[in-house]
Structure 1
Amino acid sequence: MAAFTQHATGLLELTAQVPLVMGDRMVKNRQARLHRPAAIVRRTELRHVQHCVQWALKHQTSLTIISGGHSGHYLRTNVVAVDMGAFDQIHVLTSGAYDSDPRSGPGSGSNSSPLIIAEAGCKTRGIVDKTMAVGLTVPLGARPSIGAGLSLQGGIGHLARMHGLACDAIVGAVVVSTDSGQVFYIGHVPIQHRPVGAVSPRNDAEMLWAIKGAGTNFGIVVSITFKAYAAPTYTTRNCIIP
């Protein structure tokens, strides 16, 4: 890791290709408020993430990632932060509505199960609202503004007893490698949601395991494929006892 200042000439090389976040940004985490990043860039295309990784490799420095903004590590002093907020699309794929993957096995997200494709900038509230509208759900946390970091680091929520942790629902992901900037699809990602040029890595199973909380710093997650479940419904009644 190498620290650098805001005046480093290499930063101009990056900002010429990737747009900066203009104006003040709300910082939710108290620990993160103590840090002063060199810059915050906001990617609007997949190639922007690749530019950031390739630039960091060239200058031997670090990147941090902003999703929901609750982590104390998403801002670091003199380090470039990559804001994923522009990528907030959610796609609901019902059973049989997507191309199957020959590597998929039982319970791994084959087209017998509905899937949710959530991009890295999505928040819990957006995913829950979108899935509940069609009678589905994903076991996420209870805080509506939490981002992708929840499911990528375990994820305890109110549906954990029924469906396990949030990471247990992950069946695939699109990831930009921090070793090369190459785009990978790992696990089960429907064909229509794989970026052009994305390839499956040789250590596919290990990378799928790692994004569920087993490791960090090997890639920047662009989108997550979740296995969805039928949303439970309940009848409630208020009782007033004198």
Structure 2
Amino acid sequence: MTSINASADVARATERLRPVFGDRLLLPTHDRFASASRIWNCAITHRPVAIVRCLDNDDVRAAVLTARECDVPLSVCGGGHDWAGRALRDGGLVLDLSGMGQVAVDTGVGTATVGGGAHIGDVSGAARQHGLATPTGTVRTVGMAGLTLAGGYGPLCGRYGLAVDNLLRADVVLADGRLVTASPDGDAELFWALRGGGGNFGVVTSLMFRLHELPTVLAGMMLFPFAQAATVLAGYREIVATAADEATIMAGFLPNPDGPPLVFLCPMWSGADLAEGERLIAGLERLGNPVMSQIAATPYHDALSMFDGAMREGNHYRLRTRWLSHLSEAAAEELTDAAAQIASPYSAISMHHFHGAAARVGQTETAFGLRTDHLLVEIVGAWAPEDAEAGYGDWADQTSQRLAPLALPGGYPNLLGADEPERVPPSYGPNYERLVSAKRRYDPDNIFASAVPTLAV
């Protein structure tokens, strides 16, 4: 009986959506459906029943109300980079925002207004034309909205804060179909919740970001032999402990087709004094004997290109994450041991450096939960589809488990899996109960149940 009712609900929803969307309503029988329902992590096998390609707020509103009134599960696909596949729901309706990727830069007031389907590269590229930038993540194909709403780590966080700290307002279609603007002066509680609470409260169709004058950064990549891991990571620990706001430095391990993994350091200096940045680079190079060091002054948008190949389309992925208060000797040893076991040519470990301006935001000013200096460890298990039985996903799980006794509670919500709901409350600390209250206020029926993170309602 349930399947009959479900089929009737889908048919009813389809009939309502067809006059609004026309050929922008894609069904499983459509020749474009397979490609439209594929996200970057091809390990995901969720099968939606319909996709609507939205172009404006009215489209989003029509889709949300139809899904709600016809009792069809709903999900939102912006950049499609949530590794756990929450952009797709089995038996659900997908709101595809890729047609809402516009970016408008206002140089007079120093802002960028960004559509809900825009990617990081769309934003950084538009700002670059004016010598401007706003904090983003590192991979240009990631959706800007999804990155921002759960925090938004990136190489400018030391100087300018997280992406979420530069959000000035957001237009949101709520579960009841209302379009509201969240800002400090309009629906301030929703604005608070959006800055860290993810897509739990509605469909964010437009965001406005603060831009900063930043014509160039000093950035690039250094690679060291695996045998020098202990020395390089010990030096890295000392340097990041006292790093200037203008210096944000990633570190970790990358696979090496010719032997053991390589240790990488990825510094970005965003200060005006390039000579000071060059001294920082020289100090990092002295931590070992780099097999490669390519650092240059370049526009921020161009600097991000070094990560363009980081997420290979068509691969399978399992991501895990831990927060470290600092890179202790024990944590460095665990990470090095885990890196020694990397067998996939695509798996990697990255540490994202959180400090400076991002750490000076009060813990309760936004929903984002951790405002003290720390390292975000991103554990990327990745493999080609033909290697599905090789256990590379298990390696990611085991590495996370080994780090757990050394880690802070919780973790970065954008990287927590849907199978880790117990880690969500400690990720927000004293902000969690307020966040849940906001969820109950704006989405009491949990229409946005597939959002990041998973909130108990």
Normalising by the smaller structure, the TM-score range is 0.7 to 0.9
Q: Distance in 1 between matches of 2:141 and 2:166?
A: 19
Greater fraction helix? 2
Aligned to 2:211: 228
Aligned to 1:185: 181
Q: Distance in 2 between matches of 1:235 and 1:173?
A: 31
Opposite residue 134 of structure 2, the aligned amino acid is: V
Q: Distance in 2 between matches of 1:144 and 1:161?
A: 19
**Cα RMSD for the two superposed structures:** 2.8
Aligned to 2:25: 20
Opposite residue 167 of structure 2, the aligned amino acid is: I
Instruction: Return the TM-score normalized by structure 2.
Output: 0.42
> Could you say if the C-alpha distance between residues 59 and 7 of structure 1 is closer, same or farther in structure 2, counting changes exceeding 3 Å?
closer
Aligned to 1:45: 56
Aligned to 1:54: 65
Deviation at 1:212, TM superposition (A): 1.1
Report how many residues are paired: 208
| Residue 117 (structure 2) pairs with residue 117 (structure 1) | no
Extract unaligned runs of 5+ from structure 2.
220-277, 283-291, 293-457
> Could you say if the C-alpha distance between residues 6 and 92 of structure 1 is closer, same or farther in structure 2, counting changes exceeding 3 Å?
farther
Instruction: Return the TM-score normalized by structure 1.
Output: 0.77
Deviation at 1:119, TM superposition (A): 0.4
Residue aligned with 1:221, SS:
strand
| Residue 193 (structure 2) pairs with residue 210 (structure 1) | yes
Q: Distance in 1 between matches of 2:163 and 2:203?
A: 18
Deviation at 1:182, TM superposition (A): 1.1
Write the deviation string for residues 96-151 of structure 1: whole angstroms up to 9, x where unpaired: xxxxxxxxxxxxxxxxx511100011101111011011011010001010002001
Aligned to 1:70: 81
Q: Distance in 2 between matches of 1:9 and 1:172?
A: 37
Deviation at 1:6, TM superposition (A): 8.7
Percent sequence identity over matched residues? 30
Aligned to 1:133: 129
1:5, 1:78 within 8 Å by CA — same for their partners in 2?
A: no
Structure 1: which 4+ aligned runs deviate by more than 6 Å? none
Q: Distance in 2 between matches of 1:212 and 1:234?
A: 26
| Residue 165 (structure 2) pairs with residue 168 (structure 1) | yes
1:5, 1:38 within 8 Å by CA — same for their partners in 2?
A: no
Residue aligned with 2:25, SS:
coil
> Could you say if the C-alpha distance between residues 157 and 234 of structure 1 is closer, same or farther in structure 2, counting changes exceeding 3 Å?
closer
> Could you say if the C-alpha distance between residues 154 and 68 of structure 1 is closer, same or farther in structure 2, counting changes exceeding 3 Å?
same
Opposite residue 146 of structure 1, the aligned amino acid is: V
Aligned to 1:87: 100
Deviation at 1:214, TM superposition (A): 2.6
